[in-house]
């Protein structure tokens, strides 16, 4: 018997999506009865044998197969075995048609992968009901699968976007270290490049293979950017001193390694992505340890010093030697190599030192082309890191950015419930907006310690310097924005950083913007930043209660703050109180 197609349905049915069903049975009567029962709702195909089924399936894929168990040449069990062995057909549901109804045969069929049994002779109505049930189940399963795929795609997109923003923040913090220590421009990128070169040589020569195999090399190299992050905590008078440091200043400068490990530990405690930050903490805390145990901050010795710290010790010293410092001129490459060679077995790991010396020409003349860094060497991609902890350490506003983010989320969600205001944020990505809040005070790193730590009110000249942090922060954000693929990622950060000190009445800074001429991000941040400032201790005053802070915000409506947003704040200020801990 040849296989045939069911009769055409009505026009309305043809416009609907109809599932395809193949009925396989060597008895023509069974084929006709089953086809007659199903063809009104489904596209039905018939095949008298397993061979005919597989021939038919070369041209089409059914949504369900009704398969007779007892057939000559190839029985139903053999057919389903072939179906389940192929990736392209293994998920097609199979219902067995059989005259045997004992439990043993049912269990056998289910073990082969059938989803159900229909006994022969079968009732037309019962067959249709059973098929309807399984088709509905398959429809729902496919819809769920498609939904999950769409969801995964959206999550991947958002994850990629957030990671790019987080990486930009990380890069900003690393570059801020160089901005403060302004004589070491390019140090971070050069050491990153040298590090990747040295690791490549280790891999090629099969040294420290066990230690290297336990490391995620791309993440390791990216995290090296933070090896000097502790310098953020060093006073300007020491970090920027134009001449040699005295003994006390040297001891203070040495603390940057411990400060760096502490800063990264704080970041690490607030994220689930620990590998990246774990490497960064090792770099920051161990790159000044010495092989002979005379280094700092912990006096580690030999292989007790983690391999990343031993690697960074060499490339960090090489770069310091071959570049100008306030207290010395740059050494030549050959002079620097000779100094490092003399430190073999005392300051530096002798194995790493020997490899560096033997291949020193690979590290020469890196002034050209090192900008590509390790993307070209290892093809890595940054994972995650945030940069607000560096700011927090200097101004003492512990968890300020976290609270700011929470307050912004409250106002954002309240706007979504507002008939008019929701239109203003309808095209915003909430996750990116909230993440951008981490950068709003990054310009504070430009303000000197003497002003940041002052316990009394600031005179006019110091107040002006304090206000300059907004412009400085805006410059930093623009610098990052220019260096990433998607500039739109930092749009919110730019608006938050540059406009959160503007006032509704036009008397704010830095541009004196007025009313709705102030970007919405700035108007939102103005409220939450002031609220958090009022409800937190400062060097020159004690914190105010939630009620006092809320009253101050409401009083500033139409003067300092957007009146519509103040009305929103009034409605949800109790949520602010819970976060403030009042």
Dist CA 388 CA 495 (whole Å): 17
pLDDT > 70 in the chain, percent: 74
**Residues 391-414: tens digit of each pLDDT:** 443 444 446 777 888 999 999 999
User: What CATH number did the domain enclosing 311 receive?
Assistant: 1.10.3210.10
Q: Are residues 216 and 323 in the same domain?
A: yes
- Grade residue 443 by pLDDT with cuts at 50, 70 and 90: low
**Residues 176-211: tens digit of each pLDDT:** 555 555 555 578 888 989 999 999 999 999 999 999
The answer to whether 238 and 326 are in contact (CB under 8 A) is: no
String of b and e for 30-66 (b: at least 16 CB within 10 Å)?
bbebbbebbbebbbbbbbbbbebbbebbeeeebbbbb
Q: Does 156 map to a domain?
A: no
Strand order in the sheet with 116-119: 43-47, 20-24, 64-68, 94-98, 116-119
Which residue, 378, 402, 419, sits at the end of a domain? 378
**Residues 356-394: tens digit of each pLDDT:** 999 999 888 654 444 444 444 444 333 333 334 444 434
- Grade residue 355 by pLDDT with cuts at 50, 70 and 90: very high
Q: Does 204 map to a domain?
A: yes
Dist CA 78 CA 72 (whole Å): 11
Q: Does 253 map to a domain?
A: yes
Looking at the predicted structure, is the pLDDT value of residue 540 above 90?
A: no
Q: Are residues 257 and 299 in the same domain?
A: yes
Q: Are residues 323 and 400 in the same domain?
A: no
Question: What mean pLDDT is predicted for residues 157-180?
Answer: 58
Looking at the predicted structure, is the pLDDT value of residue 127 above 70?
A: yes
- Expressed as residue numbers, the domain containing 431 is 388-580
User: Which position has the token pair 């709705």?
Assistant: 516
pTM of the model: 0.51
What are 3's strand-pairing partners? none
Angle, helices 333-342 vs 350-358, to 10°: value is 150
The answer to whether 260 and 226 are in contact (CB under 8 A) is: yes
Looking at the predicted structure, is the pLDDT value of residue 435 above 80?
A: no
**Highest-pLDDT range among 88-92, 343-347, 494-498:** 343-347
Q: What are phi and psi of 190, to 5 degrees?
A: -65, -45
Q: Does 142 map to a domain?
A: no
Q: Are residues 215 and 352 in the same domain?
A: yes
Q: Are residues 395 and 459 in the same domain?
A: yes
Q: Are residues 438 and 364 in the same domain?
A: no
The answer to whether 536 and 546 are in contact (CB under 8 A) is: no
- Grade residue 167 by pLDDT with cuts at 50, 70 and 90: low
User: What CATH number did the domain enclosing 50 receive?
Assistant: 3.40.50.2300
Angle, helices 307-321 vs 350-358, to 10°: value is 40
Q: Does 162 map to a domain?
A: no
Q: Around 318, how many Cα atoms within 13 Å sit in the side-chain half-sphere?
A: 31
Looking at the predicted structure, is the pLDDT value of residue 478 above 70?
A: no
Q: Are residues 370 and 428 in the same domain?
A: no
Q: Are residues 565 and 425 in the same domain?
A: yes
Q: Are residues 242 and 297 in the same domain?
A: yes
Looking at the predicted structure, is the pLDDT value of residue 103 above 70?
A: yes
Q: Does 160 map to a domain?
A: no
What are 339's strand-pairing partners? none
Question: What mean pLDDT is predicted for residues 480-493?
Answer: 60
Q: Are residues 293 and 237 in the same domain?
A: yes
Number of domains in the chain: 3
Which residue, 72, 90, 122, sits at the end of a domain? 122
Which residue, 350, 378, 406, sits at the end of a domain? 378
Q: Does 41 map to a domain?
A: yes
Phi-psi category of residue 365: left, alpha or beta, with phi > 0 → left and psi -120 to 50 → alpha: left
Dist CA 312 CA 318 (whole Å): 10
* Average pLDDT of the chain to the nearest whole number: 79
List the single range of 104-113, 268-277, 509-518 with lowest mean pLDDT.
Answer: 268-277
Dist CA 573 CA 375 (whole Å): 47
Tokens of 432: 């990116």
Angle, helices 563-580 vs 546-555, to 10°: value is 170
Q: Does 328 map to a domain?
A: yes
Q: Are residues 436 and 552 in the same domain?
A: yes
Q: Are residues 370 and 407 in the same domain?
A: no
């Amino acid at each position: 018997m040849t296989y045939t197609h069911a009769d055409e349905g009505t026009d309305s049915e043809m416009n609907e999506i109809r599932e395809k069903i193949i009925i396989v049975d060597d008895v023509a009567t069974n084929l006709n009865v089953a086809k007659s029962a199903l063809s009104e709702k489904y596209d039905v195909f018939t095949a008298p044998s397993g061979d005919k089924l597989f021939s038919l399936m070369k041209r089409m894929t059914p949504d369900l197969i009704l398969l007779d168990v007892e057939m000559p040449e190839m029985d139903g069990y053999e057919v389903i075995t072939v179906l389940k062995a192929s990736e392209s057909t293994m998920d097609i549901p199979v219902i067995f048609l059989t005259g045997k109804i004992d439990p043993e045969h049912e269990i056998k069929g289910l073990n082969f992968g059938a989803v159900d049994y229909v006994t022969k002779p079968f009732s037309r109505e019962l067959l249709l009901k059973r098929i309807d049930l399984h088709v509905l189940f398959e429809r729902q399963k496919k819809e769920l699968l498609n939904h999950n795929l769409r969801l995964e795609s959206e999550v991947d997109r958002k994850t990629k976007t957030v990671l790019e923003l987080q990486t930009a923040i990380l890069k900003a913090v690393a570059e801020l270290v160089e901005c403060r220590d302004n004589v070491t421009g390019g140090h971070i990128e050069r050491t990153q490049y040298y590090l990747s070169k040295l690791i490549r040589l280790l891999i090629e020569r099969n040294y420290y293979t066990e230690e290297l195999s336990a490391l995620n090399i791309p993440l390791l190299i990216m995290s090296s950017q933070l090896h000097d992050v502790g310098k953020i905590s060093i006073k300007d008078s020491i970090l920027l001193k134009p001449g040699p440091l005295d003994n006390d200043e040297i001891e203070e400068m040495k603390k940057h390694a411990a400060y760096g490990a502490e800063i990264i530990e704080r970041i690490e405690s607030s994220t689930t992505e620990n590998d990246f930050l774990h490497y960064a903490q090792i770099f920051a805390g161990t790159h000044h340890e010495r092989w002979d145990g005379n280094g700092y901050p912990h006096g580690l010795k030999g292989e007790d010093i983690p391999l990343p710290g031993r690697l960074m010790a060499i490339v960090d010293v090489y770069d310091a030697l071959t570049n100008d410092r306030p207290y010395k001129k740059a050494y030549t490459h050959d002079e620097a190599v000779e100094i490092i060679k003399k430190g073999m077995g005392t300051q530096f790991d002798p194995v790493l030192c020997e490899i560096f010396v033997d291949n020193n020409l690979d590290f020469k003349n890196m002034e050209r082309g090192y900008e590509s860094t390790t993307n070209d060497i290892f093809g890595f991609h940054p994972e995650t890191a945030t940069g607000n902890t560096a700011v927090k350490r200097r101004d003492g506003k512990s968890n300020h950015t976290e609270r700011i983010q929470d307050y912004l989320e409250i106002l954002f969600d309240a706007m979504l419930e507002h008939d008019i205001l929701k239109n203003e944020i309808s095209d915003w990505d909430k996750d990116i907006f909230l993440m951008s809040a981490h950068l709003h005070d990054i310009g504070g790193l430009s303000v000197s310690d003497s002003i940041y730590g002052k316990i009394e009110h600031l005179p006019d000249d110091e107040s002006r310097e304090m206000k300059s942090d907004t412009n400085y922060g805006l410059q930093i954000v623009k610098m990052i924005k220019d260096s990433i693929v998607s500039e739109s990622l930092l749009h919110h950060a730019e608006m938050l950083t540059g406009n959160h000190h503007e006032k509704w009445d036009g008397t704010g800074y830095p541009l004196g913007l007025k009313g709705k001429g102030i970007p919405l991000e700035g108007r939102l941040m103005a409220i939450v930043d002031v609220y958090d400032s009022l409800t937190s201790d400062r060097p020159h005053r004690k914190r105010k209660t939630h009620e006092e802070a809320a009253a101050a915000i409401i009083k500033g409506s139409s003067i300092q703050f957007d009146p519509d947003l103040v009305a929103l704040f009034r409605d949800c200020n109790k949520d602010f109180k819970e976060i403030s801990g009042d």
